[in-house]
Every structure is written in structure tokens, then in C-alpha cells.
Structure 1
Amino acid sequence: MRKLGLIGGTGPESTVIYYKKITDGVRRRLGRGRFPHLCIESLDVFEVLDFCKRGDYDGLADYLTRGIADLAAAGAEFAAFTGITPHVVFDEVARRSPIPIVSMLDASCRYAVGRHYGRVALLGTGPTMDGDFFHRPFRAHGIDVVTPDDADKRCIAKAIETELEYGIVRPATQKALEDIAVRLAEQRHADAIVLGCTELPLAFDGVDLPVDVMDVMDIHINALIDRIIGE
């Protein structure tokens, strides 16, 4: 098995899910008595968001590249981010990295193409919804990416930064996020709702939406398991 290095802490809740699902997934595929070798470099999601808010993408790339270098020094053969927002500088970090980095966006795009989606609705952090880095690979495959209006974007971003990053899921917030997803699906005719922040699945657990749900974290985790076991 190949050793994976994770950039964690972006945020902590999703890092725990990555660790649990990767170890469980490898065990299920290879049988009892087999767990993967992993290392985690835990960074700070709020530092990542601050870099984005200041528009300091060179600083963000430096911050993440140092984390990847630490993973490589710990023996990781390849790496991955446990958050989507760091992908805003993915190409630059991958260029500098001493080891390959498995992109969450590439894995998600392959998933959408395989299901013949024509339009997806993206929920995520402010930088993810407002930026072009998530839209770009989907657009290259003819898939339209739509986002909420500004008021709904602010609601989603606030929920992520003040609740979900701390593992808090308040019923009122969960209902508000569900309503946003339903409006997008119905009014913008989306084939799927993209949970484009790795903490959003916490708020959509048990929620029944009228269209498919793309949990990019699960999609990414399965791609990482494939890489660990050489599939």
C-alpha cells in the first residue's frame, strides 16, 4: 500500500471523517488486519480563509506548500487536501510539491461526467462559490455550475464558519441550508447539488433533496483509497 499524507485542519471535522472513512474503506477492500499508513499535517482553516479574504494567494500557496513538504518528509508518497477551498491554489502547490497531490475537483468532475450531469448547483465557502477554480474543470466538460444568490451565499458561508467548522449543526441552520438547496434545484434546474465544502455533509445528513447529491468528500475519499491500494 502507498502511504498517504493529508493536509488536515481545513477543517478538523472533515479531517476526522477522512481518517475514519479511509481506514474503514481500505479494511473493507483488503480484509481484516489491513489498515493504511497515513500521516496528517493539521493546518488552520481560518488562516486559509483569511488568506483568501485578503486575496493573498501567494501566501496561501506558501502556507500549503510547507504543509505538503512536511508530509513528504514524513514519508508520504502522495498527498491530498481535506478541504475544497485550498484548491484555489492547487495548480501552484502541485507545481511546487515534491509528491503528487490528488485533486478533489478532478475526482468530482469525473463523477459528474460519468453521470451525464448538464448542470450542478454548488454550495460551499465564499471563495469556492465566488471563485472560478471549481467551475473551470466542469465547464471544460460542458457542465454548467450555478451558485446561490448573494444573500444565500452569506447564509451558507456564515453556517460553515460559525457552526460547521466546530462540528455544530443547529436545526434552524440545517433547515435554512436545505431550503437553499431545494430552491437551487427547482429554480435553476440543477441535476445535482454539490456539497462543495467538506463540512457541509454534516448539515445534510438525513436530508432528502429532490435531486442527486454530490458529496465531494466521499468522492475524493474513494479516489484516495484507490490510490492507496493501487487500483
Structure 2
Amino acid sequence: MRKLGLIGGMSWLSTRTYYSEINRLVQRKLGKHASAPMAIESLDYRSLNNLESDEDWARATQQLVDAARRLEAGGAERIVITANVMHRAYDDVVDAVDTPVLHIADCTAHRLEAGNIGKVLLLGMRSAVSEGYLRDRIEQRGVKILPMNASDIEEVHRLIVEELKLGKASRDAERKLKTIITVSEQAGAKAVILACTELEMVVDVDANILPIFDTARIHCQAAADWAMSDKAES
């Protein structure tokens, strides 16, 4: 098997999901005693939370670049950033290392394209929904992301930051997300993209009004498939 390098700590709950899900997928294919070779750079989320200014993002980006370099030096053969929002720094990380970096939006767009999904609702933190670093890569595959109203964007962002990233999953959050998804279905959405790992805490990915595409789990599947693939393959 090939060694993965995970940049984590954004939050540690997300990192736990990646570690357990990748190993679960490996075990399912290779047997109950199998586990994936991995190195994890778990960063301090206090310095990566609520990034607003260009200076904040420059500092955070440098932390990811430094983490990627350490993973590369430690023998990681592919790097995975375990947070949708931190893919805002993806290009800088790619430029800093020779090791390939697996983009979460590319994996998700490929799955949507394979399922012939035309219109989707994108749920995540404010920058993940409003900026282009996820949206553009998804829409390049012919998938249309439906617009959200500003109040819903802010409410989902608040729930993620103030509740989910602290491990809290309230009934109120479940109801609010269900309402947003129902309204999007009425507006023509054919599926929902969960662009925040912690959203699975309040969105039932198996029993919902629309199909749910969980970016983290799709990302984990792609990482596990690569780790288990023949080294002669790309």
C-alpha cells in the first residue's frame, strides 16, 4: 500500500472522520487486519478558525504549506487536506511540494458527473459557499450550484462554527438544515453537497428528501482507492 499524508486538526472531529473512514474502506477491501499507512499533521485549530482578513488567510496558508512539506519529508506519497474551507489554500500547497494533493471538489464533481446530477445545493461555511475555490471546480464539470440567500448562508456558517465544530448536534440545527434542503428541492435542486465534514452530524445522508453527496466521505474513498491501487498506476 501507498502512504497518505493528512493535514488535519480543522477540526479534530473532521480528522477523526478521515482516519476512521479511510481505514474502514481499506479494511473492507483488504481484510479485517488491514490499515492504511498514514502520517497526520494535526494543526491547532485556534489559529485556523474564523479566518477573515487577507492577513489571516496568508498566515493559515503558510501553516498548511509547512505541514505539507513535513508530510512530504516524512514519505507521504499523496497529501489530503481534511477540510473543505482550507482548500482555499490548495494552489499554494500544490506549488510548495512535489507530492500530489488530492482536491476534494474534483473528487465530488466526478461523482456528481457520474450520477448525471445537474443542479445541486452546496452547504458549508461562508467562504466555501460564496467563493469560487470549490464552486468553480464543480461547475466546470457541468454541475449547476443553486444560489442560497444570504441569511441561510450565515445561519449555516454560524451552526458549523458555534455548534458542530465543538461536537454539538442540536435538534434545532437538524430542523434548520432540513428546511433549507426542502426549499432547495422546491427550487429545482436534485442533490445536496455537504461541503463541511461536521454537517453529517445533523444531516442524515441515508434518509433525506434529496440524495446527499458528502464531500469528506467521497474524498476518503478517493484517498483509500489511491492508497490501495497498484504503484504502477498514477
Same fold, TM exceeding 0.5?
A: yes
Distance in 2 of aligned mates of 1:101 and 1:45: 21
Q: Write the letter of the residue equivalent to 2:168.
A: I
Distance in 2 of aligned mates of 1:191 and 1:206: 14
User: Matched residue pairs, number?
Assistant: 229
Distance in 1 of aligned mates of 2:47 and 2:117: 34
Tell me, yes or no, if the aligned pair for 1:69 and 1:98 is still in contact at 8 Å.
Answer: no
Which residue of the partner structure matches residue 195 of structure 1? 194
The alignment status of 1:222 with 2:221, answered yes or no, reads: yes
Distance in 1 of aligned mates of 2:47 and 2:124: 17
Deviations 1:138-171 (A, max 9, x none): 2212211124211111110011001110111011
Distance in 2 of aligned mates of 1:4 and 1:225: 9
Q: For structure 1, which runs of at least 5 residues remain unmatched after alignment?
A: none
The alignment status of 1:100 with 2:89, answered yes or no, reads: no
How far residue 49 of structure 1 moved from its aligned partner, in angstroms, is 3.9
Spell out structure 1 runs of 4+ moving beyond 2 A. Answer: 44-51, 55-61, 205-209
How far residue 59 of structure 1 moved from its aligned partner, in angstroms, is 3.0
Tell me, yes or no, if the aligned pair for 2:69 and 2:96 is still in contact at 8 Å.
Answer: no
Tell me, yes or no, if the aligned pair for 1:26 and 1:34 is still in contact at 8 Å.
Answer: yes
Distance in 2 of aligned mates of 1:143 and 1:46: 34
Deviations 1:198-224 (A, max 9, x none): 111111137732221111111111100
Which residue of the partner structure matches residue 88 of structure 1? 88
Q: Write the letter of the residue equivalent to 1:171.
A: R
Residue 19 of structure 2 aligns to a residue in which SS?
Answer: helix
Distance in 2 of aligned mates of 1:166 and 1:61: 23
Q: Write the letter of the residue equivalent to 1:177.
A: L
Moved more, 10-19 or 41-50: 41-50
Residue 194 of structure 1 aligns to a residue in which SS?
Answer: strand
The CA RMSD over aligned residues, in Å, is 1.6
Q: Write the letter of the residue equivalent to 1:166.
A: L
Residue 133 of structure 2 aligns to a residue in which SS?
Answer: coil
Residue 39 of structure 2 aligns to a residue in which SS?
Answer: strand
Which residue of the partner structure matches residue 8 of structure 2? 8
Taking structure 2 as the reference length, the TM-score comes to 0.92
The alignment status of 1:43 with 2:43, answered yes or no, reads: yes
Q: How does 1:67-216 map to 2 (within 5 A)?
A: 67-187=67-187, 189-205=188-204, 208-216=207-215
Deviations 1:28-64 (A, max 9, x none): 111132211111111234533444x113443332121
Distance in 1 of aligned mates of 2:216 and 2:124: 12
Moved more, 218-227 or 172-181: 172-181
Distance in 1 of aligned mates of 2:45 and 2:193: 20
Q: For structure 2, which runs of at least 5 residues remain unmatched after alignment?
A: none
Residue 48 of structure 2 aligns to a residue in which SS?
Answer: helix
Residue 2 of structure 1 aligns to a residue in which SS?
Answer: coil
Taking structure 1 as the reference length, the TM-score comes to 0.93
Which residue of the partner structure matches residue 64 of structure 1? 64
How far residue 178 of structure 1 moved from its aligned partner, in angstroms, is 1.3
Identity percentage over the alignment?
A: 27
Distance in 1 of aligned mates of 2:91 and 2:205: 35
Distance in 2 of aligned mates of 1:36 and 1:143: 32
